[in-house]
Amino acid sequence: MAIDLTYEPTVQKLIDKTRSFTREYVLPIEDRHRGNIAEAGGDHLRVEMQAAAKAAGVFAPHAPVEYGGHGLNMSDRAPVFEEAGYSLFGPIACNLGAPDEGNVHMLAHIASTAQKEQFLAPLAHGEVRSAFAMTEPAPGAGSDPAALTTAAVKAEGGWRIDGHKWFITGADGAGFFIVMARTSGKPGDRGGATMFLAPADTAGIRVGRHIETLDNAMIGGHCEVFFDNVFVPDENVLGAVDQGFDYAQVRLGPARMTHVMRWLGAARRGHDIAVSHVAQREGFGGKLGDLGMVQKMIADNEIDIAATRALLTKACFELDRGGHAANETSIAKTFAAEAVFRIVDRGIQMCGGLGVSGDLPLARLSREVRPFRVYDGPSEVHRWAIAKRAVGAAKRAAREVQG
């Protein structure tokens, strides 16, 4: 049976509208402010751009329809998110950027009816932003979430949370936090974590410094956050107590794939700029684009773009079927994180001095996509997990043969 990779007319229309909106409205704003969202106006600009996205009919393609979104599944999100990601500010404008997009996805699947009204509805509508607070300074949770040290202790009517988080994207200005805290066991145990919903104005929550990073296009920065005797009522427990690590998988796999979608769009922009440049630039008796070494870089970029899309398509297919898709998302994330950097890096090389200058956006694109090899799990951790699954399957097969 043939595999149909076409999109329904309504989805294709949304793809086309998102492409036009991003290139005609958002890109000039990004270029004017050289990709720095804080200098561009932060939340004031976000509100302005999101109003324009709503007017253009391209707002929140992933959010449930009942909360003002288009309700797209993972497979249909891919081309829409890629078009929005063509500008570094596009995901913010369309309300599909990290971490809000992943939090919308998780809340839609896990939150109670009351929690959806209090937290999901305003987030999906763009009335507030959010943050997902899991990563901690050493020896706490990082690439190994089981090292979680932030603790929640049962109190009358709720829980008391104490801990120190960092690299919390979007923390500055967030309306609420989804906090991962240990409710049983000790650091190093595989279970015992719970997720809590905490409004940002809750007593005891303090957003600290912005940690300086390569990227500048994620609104709200990457911050330290302190939780000092923070009380969260029982009704704000997200899901079941001690099941937080399992629930997190509802968010992490899809969120890794939507990162791939967005950053593939950014890499495509870098590629398009480079190809346009070498097609016109004279050198060595002809156009640079006619030189074999340059053509190899162009071809390698085209291959990386196509391969990233193919792996993304497979992973989204498995997620839409309801599968865990741990292996598929790890493979797609690892390949894409490295491929998008290669694409932009080759673009810089093709453009020479202009490539490393501020006259073209390639240098800032390079800074934005490089952290993806660390964010949402370093490539090395994903490779370890992929290999562990493969070796485990081989061991099981050997045991079956041996009887």
How far is C-alpha 78 from the geometric centre of its chain's CA atoms?
Answer: 12
Length of the chain: 403
Q: Is residue 267 part of a domain?
A: yes
Angstrom distances, CA of residue 215 to CA of 26, 27, 371: 18, 17, 7
Q: State whether 211 and 280 are in the same domain.
A: no
Q: What is the pLDDT of residues 236-269, one digit of tens each?
A: 999 999 999 988 888 889 999 999 999 999 999 9
Q: State whether 258 and 382 are in the same domain.
A: yes
Q: Could you tell me the pLDDT band of residue 402, with boundaries at 50, 70 and 90?
A: confident
Contact 193, 146 (CB under 8 A): no
Q: What is the pLDDT of residues 20-75, one digit of tens each?
A: 999 999 999 999 999 999 999 999 999 999 999 999 999 999 999 999 999 999 99
Region of residue 376 (phi > 0: left; psi between -120 and 50: alpha; otherwise: beta):
left
Percent of the chain with pLDDT over 70: 100
pLDDT value at residue 116: 98
Report the C-alpha gap between 181 and 165 in whole angstroms.
10
List, in sequence order, every residue forming a beta bridge with 163; answer none if it has no partner.
227
Report the C-alpha gap between 236 and 221 in whole angstroms.
25
Tally of structural domains, the chain: 3
Q: Is residue 121 part of a domain?
A: no
Q: Could you tell me the pLDDT band of residue 190, with boundaries at 50, 70 and 90?
A: confident
Q: State whether 169 and 218 are in the same domain.
A: yes
Q: Could you tell me the pLDDT band of residue 403, with boundaries at 50, 70 and 90?
A: confident
Q: State whether 182 and 60 are in the same domain.
A: no
Could you count the other beta carbons within 10 Å of the beta carbon of residue 321?
9
Collapsing DSSP to helix, strand or coil, 85 comes out as coil
Q: What is the pLDDT of residues 331-354, one digit of tens each?
A: 999 999 999 999 999 999 999 999
Residue 2, pLDDT above cutoff 80: no
pLDDT value at residue 1: 62
Please report, for the domain that includes residue 35, its CATH number. Answer: 1.10.540.10
Q: State whether 229 and 339 are in the same domain.
A: no
Host H or E run for residue 331? helix 326-351
pLDDT value at residue 184: 97
Whole-model pTM: value is: 0.96
Q: State whether 230 and 252 are in the same domain.
A: no
Q: Is residue 122 part of a domain?
A: no
Q: State whether 237 and 322 are in the same domain.
A: no
Q: Is residue 358 part of a domain?
A: yes
Q: What is the pLDDT of residues 143-174, one digit of tens each?
A: 999 999 999 999 999 999 999 999 999 999 99
Q: State whether 276 and 233 are in the same domain.
A: no
Angstrom distances, CA of residue 189 to CA of 152, 183, 337: 15, 11, 29
Answer with the one of 97, 122, 152 that is the final residue of a domain: 97
Provide the 8-state DSSP code for 42. Answer: T
Q: Is residue 87 part of a domain?
A: yes
- Picking from 178, 153, 150, the residue whose alpha carbon sits closest to that of residue 165 is 150
Report the C-alpha gap between 397 and 33 in whole angstroms.
56
Tokens of 356: 């490393």
Q: State whether 376 and 279 are in the same domain.
A: yes
Q: State whether 291 and 347 are in the same domain.
A: yes
Domain that holds residue 351: 248-402
Q: State whether 166 and 268 are in the same domain.
A: no
Contact 262, 91 (CB under 8 A): yes
- Picking from 289, 267, 261, the residue whose alpha carbon sits closest to that of residue 343 is 267
Collapsing DSSP to helix, strand or coil, 237 comes out as strand
Residue 88, pLDDT above cutoff 80: yes
The shares of helix, strand and coil residues in the chain, as percent rounded to the nearest 5, are: 55, 15, 30
State the chain's mean pLDDT as an integer.
96
Please report, for the domain that includes residue 234, its CATH number. Answer: 2.40.110.10
Q: Which residues of 132-170 are buried (b: 16+ CB within 10 A; e: fewer)?
A: bbbbbeeebbbeebbbbbbbbeeeeebbbbbbebbbbbb
Angstrom distances, CA of residue 345 to CA of 297, 321, 349, 387: 10, 35, 6, 28
Q: Is residue 112 part of a domain?
A: no
Please report, for the domain that includes residue 272, its CATH number. Answer: 1.20.140.10
Report the C-alpha gap between 181 and 211 in whole angstroms.
22
Q: Is residue 104 part of a domain?
A: no
Q: State whether 172 and 285 are in the same domain.
A: no
pLDDT value at residue 248: 86
